[in-house]
């Protein structure tokens, strides 16, 4: 049997990029997968059709992570639809860069709401439904440990915040047998990171001299979601092509 047979997962921000790769991988590993998105309904519907076409189960839900009530409703809807919840992947995130002197505080608040507050609100909502063996996985970033270039202070702060929150949540949920971990990808080829000029700059910072692929990050998420990873909790696992090396 597949490693996630009879498991139910929800992934935030599953319509594109790393989130979409995680949705596909968890479904391929046998899970029924619900996912949220903010705007890309056509892409979301296409992923559902693709998974259902290969005999899997998927459900797309439009919900802005910055709206905690909408996120909570989406999680409850996934539980109603699939009858349980075993795995939450907090993936939705935004990247707003700016020079220190120009940085709008509205961007600080928006990034904090999506990248940090929603991780807490989503975990709070999901944990109510989870049992022994539950899994909470957050997509942080290696910039929690090394910013690497100017303009990224606020984004880096949000990713440092989720790494710290993960350690706290691991203590909250450990007694219930639920693990909580963060994945810290290095630069990965997605829409968020698609500017050729910045690719060249980033490649120069990587030991492997290339960016990551969304599928590579999804492989680590699938491992953390699997029964084999039951003893890993409170950890921030780096997958960065040597950005920190």
The residues that are catalytic are 155
Q: Out of 8, 25, 65, 238, which residue is the one contacting ligand NDP (CB under 6 A)? A: 65
Q: How many residues bind ligand NDP (CB under 6 A)?
A: 31
Candidates 79-87, 93-101, 145-153, 164-172; binding stretch for ligand NDP (CB under 6 A): 93-101
Contact stretch for ligand NDP (CB under 6 A) within 24-32, 62-70, 96-104, 222-230: 62-70
Is the Cβ of residue 133 or residue 239 nearer to ligand NDP in the bound state? 239
Which of the 8 DSSP states describes residue 16? Answer: S
Site for ligand NDP contains 192 (CB under 6 A): yes
DSSP of 128-194: TT--TT-EEEEE--GGGT---STT-HHHHHHHHHHHHHHHHHHHHHGGGT-EEEEEEE-SB-BTTB-
Among 141, 181, 182, 238, binds ligand NDP (CB under 6 A): 141
Locus of tokens 């600080």: 108
Q: Is 123 in the site for ligand NDP (CB under 6 A)?
A: no
The β-bridge partners of 179 are 135
Contact by Cβ (8 Å): 182, 140? yes
The distance of closest approach from Cβ of residue 138 to ligand NDP in the complex, given in angstroms and rounded to an integer, is 8
CA distances from residue 231 to 21, 107, 130, 166 in whole angstroms, order as listed: 25, 37, 17, 15
When asked if residue 193 is in the footprint of ligand NDP (CB under 6 A), the reply is yes
Name the E strands within the chain: 8-11, 32-37, 58-62, 87-90, 135-139, 179-185, 236-239
* The only residue of 4, 8, 17, 116 in contact with ligand NDP, by rule CB under 6 A: 17
Helix axes 153-173, 118-127, angle to 10 degrees: 20
Applying CB under 6 A, does 23 fall inside the site for ligand NDP? Answer: no
**Judged by CB, which is closer to ligand NDP: 132, or 191?**
191
Tell me which residues touch ligand NDP (CB under 6 A).
12-19, 36-40, 64-66, 91-95, 114, 139, 141, 185, 187-188, 190-193
């Amino acid at each position: 049997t597949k490693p996630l047979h009879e498991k139910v997962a929800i992934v935030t921000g599953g319509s594109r990029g790393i989130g979409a790769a995680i949705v596909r991988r968890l479904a391929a590993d046998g899970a029924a997968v619900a996912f949220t998105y903010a705007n890309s309904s056509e892409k979301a519907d296409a992923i559902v059709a693709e998974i259902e076409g290969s005999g899997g189960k998927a459900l797309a839900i439009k919900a802005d992570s910055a709206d905690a009530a909408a996120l909570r409703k989406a999680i409850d809807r996934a539980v109603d639809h699939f009858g349980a919840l075993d795995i939450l992947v907090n993936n939705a995130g935004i990247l707003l860069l700016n020079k220190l002197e120009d940085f709008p505080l509205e961007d600080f608040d928006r990034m904090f709401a999506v990248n940090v507050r929603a991780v807490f609100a989503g975990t709070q909502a999901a944990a109510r439904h989870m049992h022994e063996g539950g899994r909470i996985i957050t997509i942080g970033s290696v910039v929690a440990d090394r910013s690497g270039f100017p303009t990224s202070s606020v984004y880096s702060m949000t990713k440092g915040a989720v790494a710290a929150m993960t350690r706290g949540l691991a203590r909250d949920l450990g007694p219930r047998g639920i693990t909580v971990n963060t994945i810290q990808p290095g630069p990965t080829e997605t829409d968020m990171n698609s500017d050729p000029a910045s690719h060249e700059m980033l490649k120069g910072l990587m030991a492997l001299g290339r960016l990551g692929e969304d599928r590579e990050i999804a492989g680590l998420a699938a491992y953390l979601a699997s029964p084999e990873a039951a003893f890993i909790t409170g950890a921030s696992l780096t997958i960065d092509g040597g950005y920190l090396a």
